[in-house]
């Protein structure tokens, strides 16, 4: 018989019913991190936290209640229920880097898209690493368990926030720097972010992850509480963020972390009219400034930005299920993850809609070969060689079913630095980045890049409107070599930029007998009092990964030799019959066999599966 900690509460909103919730806490499992079951009487749902005695009741988008044990009481002696809106969080803002933006409208002029994958309906997975610095450890009394529980709960909330977008956030690694920091963490969020992302990249071979978030006990300068690159999800160099722990509660950390991950996903700060949640209810997660109460919902504008980013090639690492053996929270039938010993997992019994899977014990129904995944059709595995994920652009690669697994292989794309757009651009994180595309995204139809003279003259100023990046309001003048990696200069007849918070920065430059109107943009960040803290690497800067010269690529405001990406060196091993993917393996043309495309075969790669070489898949596709 299980022991239960039960609480009855009358929720404080009109028409509310008395609600009973029971936290199942079997004695033999008292050290487990997750609540195993919950009984609710009333119209509410409960989010289990990592502490078995804690939880959050979500009644609707604007009413939530926290459950915590009474001070100095055990789980069997009593709990307190309080309105989540009563948590007092200091008002903070977010600065964000400009990352890898892309817009499918202009890309379609450059690439031949074989098919558009339905990114909104397919499940996506973020394999998340969370790191706590030494100051965060000290903030929790140098108690490893306390620090760990706080961050586990925060990650649990973040997963909840993103579920509505068919995104699961799976915590696969939690690292606490209890002895000393492994990077230099200061109150400068920009230098801290740069150091953290550099550290992450060096650790990737040993600690693979899709995204990494640093939680620090250090308070950043000014009002900034978090910082992350924009449109950088899955990037080897930029997928991550830094978050200052400004709250005594895990939900405060979660709100900041979800916000910074939102920037990685291509979400901007909320525009007027987008957020439907009331400020008194916490507002929306992507608000430029947040305080008490904490935000916990996204808005329709965020959804459009996310879908646009994913459908045009972003987030390519999100389509493979996580390694469940290293996930935090423990294995459990009903969590929606296919784990060891399970044939399938379609979620809890009440939410499972699969005709192939028994939700109560995670076994396949009689006659079923599979239950989920794009390589499963009507409970049967698709034939090997059936394309399960077409390329989303010229820098993406197709993937094929192997006839053994219901899941499509992980999403692979051309290695960063591969040539695209007829040699005029480079692939970066699976996207073909051009100045033409960026001008179109900023100014709209008929916009195009300005002559090189515009970049040189405007960006040598080293001020707010012409620079190659900044740290805390100190702008860097562009050298002549770096000029095309600074503020992007376009030619356009438009009256103003497309972005509602952007203004045109027009400069007349004399080119012999001709005057050129060089058009740049400056984007004002809503809700941030100190303008100098908010515009580092704004959307008006040339994107990292853009070609800036022969064998040269923009990287963090500098024009660097593209050789550091080693794309040519990697593709050389494919013997002229294939190209190198982001796993540094050859993706062979049809007629050539992996791994090195030097003998005859079906094509494809060791990673993506074989091309179709027969017609046995008819009826299974």
Query: With contact defined as beta carbons under 8 Å apart, do 17 and 43 qualify?
Result: yes
Shortest CA distance to 96 belongs to which of 597, 534, 436? 534
For residue 419, the cross-strand partners are: 426
Report the Cα 515 to chain-centroid distance in Å.
Answer: 43
Q: How many residues does the chain have?
A: 621
Alpha-carbon distance of 433 to 446, in angstroms, equals 18
Place of tokens 């924009």: 230
**Active-site hit among 260, 342, 406, 457:** 260
Q: Is 44 left (phi over 0), alpha (psi -120 to 50) or beta?
A: beta
Pairing of strands 224-229, 92-97: parallel
Angle between helices 144-163 and 250-264 (to 10 degrees): 50
Contact call for residues 575 and 597 (beta carbons, < 8 A): yes
User: Is 259 annotated in some ligand binding site?
Assistant: yes
263 is in an annotated binding site: yes
What whole-number distance in Å separates Cα of residue 452 and Cα of residue 480?
A: 10
584 is in an annotated binding site: no
Q: How many CB atoms lie within 10 A of CB 145?
A: 8
Peptide bond into 230 cis (omega under 30): no
CA distance 134 to 140: 10
- CB-count exposure of residue 236 (10 Å: 0-12, 13-18, 19+): middle
Strand order in the sheet with 431-433: 419-420, 425-428, 431-433
Q: In 204-267, which residue ranges form alpha helices assigned H by DSSP? A: 250-264
Per-residue CA distances from 509 to 305, 436, 454, 459 (Å): 35, 20, 7, 12
For 279, residues 6+ apart whose C-beta sits below 8 A from its C-beta are none
Q: Say how many CA atoms lie within 13 Å of 114 toward its Cβ.
A: 12
CA distance 34 to 6: 16
Q: For residue 250, what are the contacts with CB-CB under 8 A and spacing of at least 6?
A: 49, 150, 151, 153, 154, 156, 157
For residue 531, indicate whether it is catalytic.
no
DSSP run (H or E) holding 190? helix 189-203
Mapping DSSP to helix (H, G, I), strand (E, B) and coil, where does residue 460 land? coil
Q: How far apart are the first and last CA of the chain?
A: 48
Summarize the annotated binding site for Zn(2+) as residue ranges.
259, 263, 269
Residues labelled catalytic? 260
């Amino acid at each position: 018989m299980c022991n239960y900690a039960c609480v009855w509460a009358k929720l404080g909103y009109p028409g509310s019913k008395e609600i009973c919730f029971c936290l199942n806490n079997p004695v033999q499992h008292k050290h487990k991190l997750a609540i195993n079951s919950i009984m609710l009487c009333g119209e509410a749902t409960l989010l289990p936290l990592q502490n078995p005695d804690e939880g959050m009741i979500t009644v609707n988008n604007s009413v939530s209640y926290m459950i915590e044990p009474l001070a100095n009481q055990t789980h069997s002696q009593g709990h307190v229920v309080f309105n989540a809106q009563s948590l007092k969080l200091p008002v903070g803002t977010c600065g964000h880097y400009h990352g890898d933006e892309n817009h499918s409208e202009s890309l379609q002029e450059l690439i031949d898209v074989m098919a558009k994958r339905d990114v909104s309906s397919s499940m996506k997975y973020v394999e998340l690493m969370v790191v706590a610095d030494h100051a965060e450890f000290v903030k929790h009394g140098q108690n490893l368990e306390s620090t760990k529980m706080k961050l586990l709960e925060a990650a649990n909330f973040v997963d909840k926030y993103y579920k509505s977008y068919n995104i699961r956030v799976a915590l696969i690694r939690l690292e606490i720097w209890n002895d000393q920091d492994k990077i230099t963490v200061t109150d400068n969020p920009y230098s801290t972010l740069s150091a953290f992302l550099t550290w992450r990249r060096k650790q990737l071979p040993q600690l693979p992850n899709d995204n990494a978030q640093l939680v620090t006990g250090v308070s950043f300068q000014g009002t900034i509480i978090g910082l992350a690159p924009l449109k950088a999800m899955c990037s080897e160099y930029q997928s991550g963020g830094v978050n200052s722990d400004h709250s005594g509660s895990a939900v405060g950390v979660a709100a900041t972390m979800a916000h910074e991950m939102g920037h990685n996903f291509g979400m901007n700060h909320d525009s007027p009219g987008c957020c439907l949640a009331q400020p008194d209810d916490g507002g929306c997660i992507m608000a430029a400034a947040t305080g008490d109460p904490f935000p916990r919902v996204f808005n329709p504008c965020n959804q459009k930005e996310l879908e646009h980013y994913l459908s045009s090639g972003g987030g390519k690492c999100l389509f493979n299920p996580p390694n469940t053996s290293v996930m935090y929270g423990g294995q459990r039938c009903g969590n929606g993850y296919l784990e060891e010993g399970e044939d399938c997992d379609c979620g809890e019994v009440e939410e499972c809609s699969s005709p192939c899977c028994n939700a109560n014990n995670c076994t396949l129904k009689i006659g079923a070969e599979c239950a989920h995944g794009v390589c499963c059709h009507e409970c049967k595995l698709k034939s090997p060689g059936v394309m399960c994920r077409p390329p989303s652009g010229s820098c993406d690669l197709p993937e094929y079913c192997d006839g053994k697994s219901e899941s499509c292989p992980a999403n692979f794309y051309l290695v960063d630095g591969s040539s695209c757009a007829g040699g005029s651009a480079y692939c970066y994180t699976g996207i073909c980045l051009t100045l033409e595309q960026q001008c179109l995204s900023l100014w709209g139809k008929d916009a195009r890049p300005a002559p090189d003279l515009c970049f040189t003259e405007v960006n040598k100023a080293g001020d707010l409107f012409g620079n190659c990046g900044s740290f805390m309001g100190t702008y860097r003048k562009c050298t002549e070599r770096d000029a095309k990696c600074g503020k992007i200069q376009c030619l356009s007849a438009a009256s103003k930029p497309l972005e509602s918070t952007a203004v045109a920065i027009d400069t007349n430059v004399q080119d012999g007998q001709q005057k050129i109107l060089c058009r740049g943009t400056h984007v004002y960040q809503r809700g941030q009092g100190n303008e100098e803290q908010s515009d580092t690497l704004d959307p008006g800067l040339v994107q990292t990964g853009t070609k800036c010269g022969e064998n040269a690529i923009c990287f963090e405001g500098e024009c660097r030799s593209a050789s550091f990406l080693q794309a040519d060196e990697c593709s050389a091993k494919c013997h002229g019959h294939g190209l190198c993917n982001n796993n540094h393996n050859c993706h062979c043309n049809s007629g050539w066999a992996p791994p090195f495309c030097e003998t005859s075969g079906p094509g494809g790669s060791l990673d993506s599966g074989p091309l179709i070489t027969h017609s046995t898949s008819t009826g299974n596709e």
